[in-house]
């Protein structure tokens, strides 16, 4: 289980709906709604910083509390602008701790130099550069990259594990690793 459950503002409603009582709720609290009444006051830590999103505030709080791994649940935001902005949180904090965004399809994280990808053969893996990524090399994937340059494009999308564990390295840049939670086999 989780050592610390932090809800970002309206995420408190989602947590309670799943039967999870957050240890801490943070953010500007503009979308917490009635959930505020169900959460003990000492667990609510308002943060009105207008220069940070509620998710950034929640991840920063986790790191300030000493967490070395953070799993973000529900980070898709239900809107394309929120989803893309929330991926930027992985880039911002992904070198300080293992920060992953997890949903029913993927676990997404920043490749900080190198990453191992475990899973059965055929597990879907995508690599997306946020800006220019240089020196991208893979092993154990169906379609290998060798000292490749990936920009913000679809070039690294939808690969799959051929041999586990697969490895991904990047010399420079912000490379996001999407670990699929399903298996496909291509001939």
Structure tokens that stand for 35 in this block: 């959930």
Which residues does residue 35 pair with via DSSP β-bridges, in sequence order?
Answer: none
Mean per-residue pLDDT, 14-19: 95
pLDDT exceeds 90 at position 183: no
CATH topology match: 6-103 vs 109-183: yes
- The pLDDT of residue 3 is 87
| The residue to which tokens 């399903």 are assigned | 182
Question: What would the pLDDT profile of 109-153 be if each residue is shown by its tens digit?
Answer: 999 999 999 999 999 999 999 999 999 999 999 999 999 999 999
Q: CATH number of the domain at 109-183, out of 3.30.70.980, 3.40.50.10240, 2.60.120.1440, 3.40.109.10?
A: 3.40.50.10240
pLDDT band at 1 (very low <50, low <70, confident <90, very high): low
The domain spans of the chain are 6-103, 109-183
Radius of gyration (C-alpha) of the chain in whole angstroms: 18
Domain 6-103: which topology? Rossmann fold (3.40.50)
At residue 187, the pLDDT reads 64
Q: Which range in 71-75, 81-85, 138-142 is most confidently predicted, on average pLDDT?
A: 138-142
Q: Answer for the pair 183, 122: CB distance below 8 angstroms, yes or no.
A: yes
- Confidence (pLDDT) at 182: 86
CB atoms near residue 35 (< 10 Å)? 22
Which pLDDT score, from 0 to 100, does residue 79 have?
A: 84
- CA-CA distance, 67 to 72, in Å (whole number)? 13
């Amino acid at each position: 289980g989780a050592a610390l459950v932090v809800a970002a503002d309206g995420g408190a409603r989602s947590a309670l709906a799943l039967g999870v009582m957050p240890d801490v709720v943070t953010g500007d609290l503009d979308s917490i709604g009635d959930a505020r009444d169900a959460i003990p006051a000492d667990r609510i830590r308002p943060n009105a910083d207008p220069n940070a999103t509620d998710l950034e505030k929640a991840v920063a709080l986790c790191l300030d509390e000493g967490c070395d791994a953070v799993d973000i649940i529900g980070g898709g935001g239900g809107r394309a602008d929120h989803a893309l902005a929330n991926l930027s949180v992985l880039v911002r904090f992904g070198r300080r701790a293992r920060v992953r965004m997890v949903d029913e399809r993927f676990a997404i994280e920043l490749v900080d130099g190198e990453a191992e990808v475990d899973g059965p053969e055929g597990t879907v893996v995508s690599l997306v550069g946020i800006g220019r990524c240089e020196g991208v090399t893979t092993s154990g994937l169906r379609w290998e990259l060798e000292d490749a340059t990936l920009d913000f494009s679809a070039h690294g999308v939808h690969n799959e594990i051929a041999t586990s564990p697969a490895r991904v390295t990047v010399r420079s840049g912000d490379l996001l690793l999407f670990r699929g939670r399903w298996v496909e086999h291509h001939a």
